[in-house]
């Protein structure tokens, strides 16, 4: 049997990888889909907190027609679980990739896009239905998505384990792409990484990580800026978990702890942190072996990403996903000027910036003003800094401005995902966007991402240090790329 672009039983496509032959299934339009291919060994037992190890080889044909196991994680709180689908697929072999390809033959040499999901480094997976890669394959791109370790398993900081294991998993997945994607019709010399939220933060780290050098040629950062957390902040999460579990704060002790108990303790400590309020959290840290220095500082100093074209941006009302469903908007409005003053202090803005914001949003209440200030600090300011860093390669900046059909969400965090993947017809897309979604906007946005993967140019002028950004689904920005524009205030 030849496995190089051959078909197996029932006309299913087969491909020979470095570890063995995989059999996928056919999707719409002749797309070949391979799901749950292991790129590393299961992270269990002695490997729970170790760097990713090579996968075992296999004889015969491995069935890859269904998503593989998702990484262990805790569920979203009910408020967010109603908006953000996050399937759980049990099993140990969670370090796996999925491939959608229009032509699984080595000679095709098609551009490749690798998706890194978000979820605050603690949740999410490649099995979220909104991330289906069929539209990218339909349009001539080999789409790859991956799972990686999350929470304490991926980002807990221990004295006896390597740091940033989730990032090491992503590097292992990209190495798998380099070594295997030709057999699926992809070109390993034309790889674009793209991700949202924590996925975009990860890409910022990959751009600066020496271990990831040469594994991709273009990058897309959606609603996430390069950052690292203070090591004591991450270490505090491990210590709090250790206190609840009554064990030492070491990888050795945590390896000996049953996984359900570990996840229960993680869920308890996560309640004290959030993207806007701060507090202990799981995330990337500086580390000599993976991220030697702050990635934003590194990237803005030129070196690491200078030859990698970037596509980066945000949604107009990022903060509304974090505040509106929980009643945080109402609370901040009740706090009035105090909310704005606290947000100004946390964002590092001066009073002139607040006056400019009030002038741009005359109908905005304290919650919207505070949310926009914090969004500037978390996303827009660092992304604009990166785009305007004087790099040799171009940067293309966008803003997503279409408001959700659900009350109060506006153009919130993660809303653009169904448009980028062109998966508005997927039922789970309506959880965040509502049902009355404009397909023409998905056509436009998805085509821009495909064009960027094909040519390095999404179809608008590169960032010139001033702006404004390209706007999808909202009024164009005026002035020098201001963070907000005058518009009807949202309820």
C-alpha radius of gyration, the chain, whole number = 22
Q: Is 283 within 8 Å of 228 (Cβ atoms)?
A: yes
Catalytic positions? 197, 318, 413
Tokens for 414?
């993660």
């Amino acid at each position: 049997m030849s496995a190089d672009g051959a078909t197996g039983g029932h006309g299913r496509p087969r491909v020979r990888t470095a570890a063995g032959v995989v059999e996928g299934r056919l999707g719409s339009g002749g797309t070949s889909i391979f799901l749950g291919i292991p790129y590393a060994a299961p992270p269990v037992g002695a490997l729970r907190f170790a760097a990713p190890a090579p996968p075992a080889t296999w004889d015969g044909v491995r069935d890859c027609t269904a998503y593989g196991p998702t990484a262990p994680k805790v569920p979203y709180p009910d408020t967010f679980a109603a908006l953000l689908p996050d399937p759980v697929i049990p099993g140990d072999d969670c370090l796996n990739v999925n491939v959608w390809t229009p032509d699984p033959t080595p000679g095709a040499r098609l551009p490749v896009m690798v998706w890194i999901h978000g979820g605050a480094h603690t949740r999410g997976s490649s099995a979220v239905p909104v991330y289906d890669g069929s539209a990218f394959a339909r349009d001539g791109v080999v789409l790859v998505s991956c799972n990686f370790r999350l929470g304490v398993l991926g980002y807990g900081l221990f004295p006896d384990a390597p740091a940033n294991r989730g990032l090491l998993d992503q590097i292992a997945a990209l190495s798998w792409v380099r070594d295997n994607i030709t057999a699926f019709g992809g070109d390993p010399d034309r790889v674009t990484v793209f991700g949202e939220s924590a996925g975009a933060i990860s890409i910022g780290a990959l751009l600066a990580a020496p271990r990831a050098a040469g594994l991709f040629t273009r990058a897309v950062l959606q609603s996430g800026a390069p950052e690292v957390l203070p090591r004591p902040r991450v270490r505090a999460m491990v210590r709090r978990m250790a206190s609840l579990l009554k064990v030492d704060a070491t990888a050795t002790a945590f390896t000996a702890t049953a996984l359900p108990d570990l996840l229960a303790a993680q869920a308890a400590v996560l309640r004290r942190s959030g993207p806007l309020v701060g507090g202990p959290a799981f995330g990337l840290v500086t580390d000599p072996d993976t991220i030697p220095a702050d990635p934003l500082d590194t990237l803005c100093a030129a070196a690491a990403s200078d030859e990698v074209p970037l596509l980066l941006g945000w949604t107009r009302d990022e903060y509304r996903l974090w505040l509106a469903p929980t009643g945080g908007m109402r609370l901040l409005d009740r706090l009035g000027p105090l909310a704005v003053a606290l947000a100004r202090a946390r964002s590092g803005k001066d009073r002139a910036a607040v006056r400019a914001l009030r002038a741009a949003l005359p109908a905005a209440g304290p919650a919207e003003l505070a949310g926009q200030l914090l969004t500037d600090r978390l996303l827009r300011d660092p992304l604009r800094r990166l785009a305007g860093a004087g790099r040799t390669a171009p940067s293309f900046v966008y803003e997503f401005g279409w408001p959700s059909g659900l009350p109060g969400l506006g153009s919130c965090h993660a809303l653009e995902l169904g448009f980028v993947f062109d998966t508005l017809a997927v039922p789970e897309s309506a959880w965040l966007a509502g049902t009355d979604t404009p397909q023409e906007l998905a056509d436009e946005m998805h085509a821009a991402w495909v064009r960027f993967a094909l040519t390095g140019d999404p179809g608008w002028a590169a960032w010139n240090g001033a702006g404004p950004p390209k706007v999808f689904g909202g009024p164009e920005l005026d002035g020098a790329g201001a963070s907000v524009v005058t518009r009807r205030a949202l309820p």
